[in-house]
Amino acid sequence: MKALPYVILLLPALAVAAPPGDTPDLPPRAVVASVLAGHPDVLAAKSGVRYEESNRDRLEAGEHEFSVSVGSARRRTEASRNLNEWDVAVERPIRLPGKARLDGELGSLGVAQAQSSLGDAMHETARGLLRAWFGWLKARAQSDEWNSQASLLRRQGEVAARRVRAGDAPRLEQTLAEASAAQAEAAAVQAELRASVAAAELTQHYPGISLPERPVLATPTPVDQPHAYWHERILQHNHELAAVRAEVKRRQTLIARSQADEMPDPTVGVRHASEAGGNERVTGVYLSIPLPGRARAAMTEGARAQMDMAVQKEAALLRKLNAEVAAAHAGATAAYEGWRKAQFAAQAMERNAELIARAYALGEAGLNDTLNARRLAVEGRLAAVTAQLDAAEARYRLMLDAHLLWSLD
């Protein structure tokens, strides 16, 4: 059989902890880190962090500012005298100490939520990269398989031609063998097209990813750790969940802030005036406090409703994550078992096809049986290589979600 353009490695099971070096059947870690860091979704999330940092600084500084007012007037007395008067005032609302503390907490929680959103953007981008990478590997492996099988069928056609020339078989068998080889070549062309499309999509969506000439197809390894381990690990490192929990804390703090705002901030001012044509000087300090209305209490109730919404959002996300982890773990386990069975079946069908092909060359089997055995072997090989990559992808996806594959922090 012709050597395949990809490499199959018999690798030992990957450890639970992140491997110290590159994984042979994945892009290099340094390349992945660069691609993820430069992805538009990640860059947008980084801008979101900068925005929240600016917003934190704004909240810590407070929105109250000094106001300066200047006025002038002319007073006309009964003695028909015109007296010039003027006044200057400087005032500033004073944020109560408890509000300043809560504003600082709100700013810090906003930054924490943005940082978690950045991690989630990195995670989702890495998921997309892993999915696209294995999509290309599958298309490439199927293309290579069809090319290999087309080569075998061409040789089968040569055997049929020799038997026809020797008078041991009718010309119909040669025609049938050549038609089978042509069908395999057509399937190989279509598979190559799918591989080219998958490669273009991968490199266009993730610039910087280079595709190896001979992709490595590592032997899948079982998921040895129990579901409880993966569940705890994935939820512990899930950025989306961390962002939602930061939102719950922020909403709780907003309730306290709204309650504090039911007591309005006072305004303190200093006024200096010249009256009676400069004969009188007035200097004073004044304090003003708005009288709170129902709107402030309504804002507190609105903040409570928003906090309840955030709590329910967290509960819904936990349900979704629990289901996803269970499905991912079960899927990875089933994919490995499916690959083992597909590999066993493919090897058996390949041996059977080779035996029947030799029997046909010796005149001990018919061409129909030979081509049918080769067709079953092709189907078995394609199913096995797809199952092999499905099993590897499922396990890597589990490791990615658990932050054991690539650095996402």
Residue 350 domain-assigned (yes or no) = yes
- Distance separating alpha carbons of residues 320 and 200, to the nearest angstrom: 33
β-strand partners of 67: 91
- Distance separating alpha carbons of residues 325 and 226, to the nearest angstrom: 12
Question: Residue 97's pLDDT is what?
Answer: 84
Q: Which long-range contacts (CB under 8 A, 24 or more apart) does 130-135 make?
A: 130/26, 130/393, 130/396, 130/397, 130/400, 130/405, 131/393, 132/198, 132/201, 132/202, 132/205, 132/206, 133/26, 133/27, 133/202, 133/209, 134/389, 134/392, 134/393, 134/396, 135/198, 135/201, 135/202
- Per-residue pLDDT at 16 exceeds 70: no
Tokens of 207: 């610039």
Residue 406 domain-assigned (yes or no) = no
Rounded average pLDDT over 236-247: 94
State the amino acid at position 156 in one-letter form: Q
**Strand 7-9 vs strand 216-218: parallel, antiparallel, or unpaired?**
parallel
Residue 1 domain-assigned (yes or no) = no
**DSSP 8-state class, residue 169:** S
- Distance separating alpha carbons of residues 9 and 214, to the nearest angstrom: 12
The boundaries of the domain holding residue 309 are 7-401
Rounded average pLDDT over 59-68: 89
Residue 409 domain-assigned (yes or no) = no
Residue 94 domain-assigned (yes or no) = yes
- Distance separating alpha carbons of residues 156 and 162, to the nearest angstrom: 10
Please, what is the average pLDDT of the chain? 86
When pLDDT is cut at 50, 70 and 90, the band that residue 277 belongs to is low
**Domains of the chain: total:** 1
Which range has the worst mean pLDDT, 99-113, 224-238, 287-301, 393-407?
287-301
Question: Residue 91's pLDDT is what?
Answer: 92
Q: What is the pTM of this model?
A: 0.81
- Per-residue pLDDT at 139 exceeds 90: yes
- Mind listing the pLDDT tens digit for each residue in 198-236? 999 999 999 999 898 888 888 889 988 899 999 999 999
Give the CATH number, domain containing residue 280. Answer: 1.20.1600.10
- Per-residue pLDDT at 105 exceeds 80: yes
Residue 75 domain-assigned (yes or no) = yes
Residue 2 domain-assigned (yes or no) = no
Residue 407 domain-assigned (yes or no) = no
- Per-residue pLDDT at 74 exceeds 70: yes
- Per-residue pLDDT at 14 exceeds 60: no
Question: Residue 11's pLDDT is what?
Answer: 41
Cα–Cα distance list, 337 to 14, 25, 222, 382, 388 (Å): 17, 20, 8, 17, 10
